A and B are shown apart, each in its own frame.
Chain A
Amino acid sequence: MKKRGRGIGLAFYGTGYGNGFPDVSRARIRLLDDGKVGIYVGSTEVGQGAKTVLMQIGAEALKLDVEEIVFITEDTSLTPDAGTAAASRQTYNTGNAVKIACENFIERLKEIAKEELNLNSSYGLKVEAGNIFLDFFPQKKISFKELSKSYGSGNIEADGEFVAQTIMMDPETGQGAPYWPYTFNACGIELVVDTLTGLVEIERAVFAQDVGRAVNPHLVEGQMDGGFAMALGYILFEDLNLKDGKIYNNKFSKYLIPTAMDTIKVENIIVEDPESTAPYGAKGIGEPVMIPVGPAILNAIYDAIGVRITELPVTPERLIKAIQEDNERKEEI
């Protein structure tokens, strides 16, 4: 018999290393040839979109077109350390480092412009669209291009460092505030359980994710879709078959991950509630997107058949067994 169920799952997740562990990101900004600005940052792009997002944050801070930015990353001989591409920390932590470095760079440019324009002070100078100019007398201006011509490539630079606030928990009580910031999300699932075959078919998925601010909504959706699919596999198919420390399902013919036919179009809702300590309010969501999906699926299965599943993945065999055991228990009563 086919039984329909609905379930929701909610989660909150602290990003960054947390628990008092030093969490430091660094960035360097340099004026290059032809007025272009180089952002040097050791964050690693693994497909999550760090390059795009950090470049966008830099462009916003410098009030400069993205086309005018040269983004250098991953090369450890050229870039300052920005920590690992882990803990959902690049957008928030390294984003803050890039923003701080850009602000320091702007201050440096203003000092130089003061000399170059023979001004009494750097007060009232603005930096926008590759020009440094006096706000109330815009004819007094010098461009990035002119500065790179007279100073040469790479000779005007500024660094930025962001040290995240993380506090170690009380080891006695487990109490404290180990992470900052947190991100919040919710997932709703509608599914059908076939009680004859044990198959679970997801019919509808709605997923709301708080990102503080979506620097790049397209990338946020990509992360949400990816987290959903990975969680779907974790709940329904993926089984390492670990026995005595040995992984028996050690190939894709045995360890099944979702294909395009197993996933569905997720109705994504991006929730923007800017975080005051974040670069333009943006928080990382790399890991949290996976968390609420599992509970939502398991709650929907419970709603459909009235049986709590406590072992993953929910393979057809396990589901049938759980239904049978539940029936036996009920008969005993």
Chain B
Amino acid sequence: MVKIDLLVNGKKHSLEVEEDMRLIDLLREKLGLTGVKEGCSEGECGACTVIMDGEVVNSCLVMAFQAHESNIITIEGLDGEGSLHPLQQAFIDAGAVQCGYCTPGMILSAKALLDKNPNPTEEEIREGISGNLCRCTGYNKIVEAINRAKGV
């Protein structure tokens, strides 16, 4: 067991974790943050995307102990005081959600992109979410949603 301290969605946690535990299991099983989705478990689909110290990571490829002293944001950390994050609202308004499985990861990749580049071109948006697979939407309404959310 390893003792780790980390910040998740602005809240401090001190936890004992198994050495072979993945970050996704820590978030889902220990902290109950089931908005983090498990898809391929090999870093290809992006469903388990979270933001770690400002960078998007596949939480299935990060070991829990590697998150020691890091700042993690999951989809649960986006809405504040009962209102939706502008990206969440834009995804609803643009019809960018179909089955919804990719949506948490998509929104977090979009947030990390907009945090670094508040006014991306369509090409930059497509590149920014290219690590997140979606089978339903054909991506166009997702790109439109991120376009709407920029500058909000």
Contacts and interface: CB of A to CB of B under 8 A. Distances in A.
B138 to A, nearest CB: 3
A37 to B, nearest CB: 24
22 contacts: A47-B97, A47-B99, A219-B95, A221-B95, A222-B98, A222-B136, A224-B138, A225-B137, A225-B138, A225-B140, A226-B137, A226-B138, A228-B138, A229-B137, A252-B40, A258-B139, A259-B130, A259-B131, A261-B127, A261-B130, A263-B140, A265-B143
A87 interface: no
B64 to A, nearest CB: 23
A258 B139 CA distance: 9
Contacts, number: 76
Contact of A252 (B42, B95, B99, B140): B42
| Contact-size category for A | 20 to 34
A208 to B, nearest CB: 16
A261 B95 contact: no
A219 B96 CA distance: 10
Interface in B12-70: 39-40, 42, 44-45
A66 interface: no
A260 B39 CA distance: 18
B133 interface: yes
Given A47-B100, A259-B130, A225 B42 contact: no
Given A47-B98, A222-B98, A225-B137, A260 B45 contact: no
B45 A252 contact: yes
B151 to A, nearest CB: 20
A48 B98 CA distance: 6
**Residue of B44, B97, B98, B142 ringed by the most chain A CB atoms within 10 A:** B98
A253 interface: yes
A14 B22 CA distance: 47
Contact of B136 (A47, A261, A266): A47
Would you call the interface of chain A mostly helix, strand, loop, or mixed? loop
Interface residues of B, number: 28
A218 interface: yes
Interface string A207-229: 00000000000110110111111
A265 B136 CA distance: 15
B133 A226 contact: no
Contacts of B45: 252
Nearest to B95: A218
Contact of B138 (A219, A253, A266): A266
Contacts of A296: none
A257 interface: yes
Given A221-B95, A261-B127, A263-B138, 12 more contacts: A49-B98, A222-B141, A225-B141, A228-B138, A252-B133, A259-B132, A259-B133, A260-B126, A260-B139, A263-B140, A266-B138, A266-B140
A261 B126 contact: yes
B116 interface: no
A47 B135 CA distance: 11
Interface in A232-266: 251-253, 257-261, 263, 265-266
Given A46-B99, A47-B100, A222 B137 contact: yes
B135 A230 contact: yes
A47 B100 CA distance: 7
Contacts of B140: 225, 263, 265-266
Given A47-B99, A222-B137, A226-B138, A260 B42 contact: no
A259 B132 CA distance: 7
A106 to B, nearest CB: 31
Contacts of B132: 259-260
A221 B99 CA distance: 15
A257 B138 CA distance: 11
